[in-house]
Amino acid sequence: MITVLVVDDHPIVRAGLRATLEADPGLRVVGEAASGEEAVRLAAAHMPDVVLMDLQLGPGLDGAQATARVRELPRPPRVLVLTTYDSDADILRAIEAGAIGYLLKDAEPADLLRALRAAAAGETVLAPSVATRLTSRERAPGVSLTPREAQVLQLVAGGHSNSAIAGQLFISEATVKSHLVQVFAKLGVDNRTAATAEGRRRGVIR
């Protein structure tokens, strides 16, 4: 029996996932979490084999941050990301945080069930489009923003000021500016608007 913790901030999605998983006699859902903080708490309490993790979870810890916290537990479960986002920035943050697999929400139920079994067995599972992106990136790396640089650029794209970004990421405004200087240099641009457009064109942000 493989035990699973479902993490998603939408109740309807959680209910659908629970129904899909529990229709399989070899899987059991031991809990549902609507936030990153709740995911970490329930993972520690229930010690599931696999955490099925969404990336966008509203205020607080996002999916990548929650993944990193879960993987730091004394008996860390495998983390399989299930999300709608497939940008390079999202994929790299999740993998670097310790996720063993990355699936998109358009996956067939049978593919999800196979992925859960593979993840529980310690096998890496990637959606075909994600695998293609990672392979292409390795063959032609081009621009490589650090996870933090990509995070800063994503917030810039969302219209946040330097001070707002500093507050959200718990860093100084000077550090935000330093990251932006690096981003501008790597993307070959000289302003926030151009950086956002170029970042989206190259797939480093959503």
Instruction: Express each pLDDT in 29-46 by its tens digit.
Output: 999 999 999 999 999 999
The amino acid that residue 61 corresponds to is L
C-alpha span between 169 and 161 (Å, rounded) = 12
- Low-confidence residues in the chain, pLDDT < 70: 132-143
pLDDT at 28: 96
What is the model's pTM? 0.68
pLDDT at 143: 62
Q: Quick: pLDDT tens for 39-78.
A: 999 999 999 999 999 998 988 899 999 999 999 999 999 9
50, 119 in Cβ contact below 8 A? yes
- Write the burial class of residue 19 (CB in 10 Å: 0-12 exposed, 13-18 middle, 19+ buried): exposed
Using N-to-C axis directions, what is the helix angle for 173-187 and 162-169, rounded to 10°?
A: 110
Backbone angles phi and psi of 205, in degrees to 5: -135, 165
Task: Identify the structural domains of the chain with CATH numbers, from first to last.
Answer: 2-138 (3.40.50.2300), 147-202 (1.10.10.10)
Give the length of the chain: 206
